[in-house]
Amino acid sequence: MTHHSRNDLSFSSATEWRCRCGGTLVPRKVAALYMGSRFEVELPACEQCGFILVPEELALGKMLEVERILEDK
């Protein structure tokens, strides 16, 4: 299992993720809009339907940290 630092917004996994449509989720750079700011991040996205998975660790960890930083500005 690969361990990422808290400053790493990329996604990688040895597990083959599957979307509910049956497509494979693969790491892809996507633009995320959050609190009026745009971030380029690598997230798992479905090759077939385009669904993007935001892992819980990112949503509850790093994005919360970014939210706090943006609120302080």
Q: Per-residue pLDDT tens for 16-31?
A: 778 999 999 989 998 8
Q: Are 26 and 44 in contact (CB under 8 A)?
A: yes
Residue located via tokens 């385009």? 50
Contacts 24+ apart (CB under 8 A), 62-65: 62/6, 62/9, 63/34, 65/6
Evaluate whether residue 34 is within a structural domain: yes
Evaluate whether residue 35 is within a structural domain: yes
Evaluate whether residue 45 is within a structural domain: yes
Evaluate whether residue 10 is within a structural domain: no
Residue 49 has pLDDT above 90, yes or no: yes
Confidence of residue 7 (pLDDT cuts 50, 70, 90): very low
Q: What is the pLDDT of residue 2?
A: 40
Evaluate whether residue 27 is within a structural domain: yes
Q: What is the pLDDT of residue 4?
A: 42
Considering its fold, how many domains does the chain have in total?
A: 1
Report which of residues 52 and 3 the model is more confident about. 52
Q: What CATH number is attached to the domain comprising 60?
A: 3.10.20
- Domain interval for residue 37: 17-72
Mean pLDDT estimate for the chain: 76
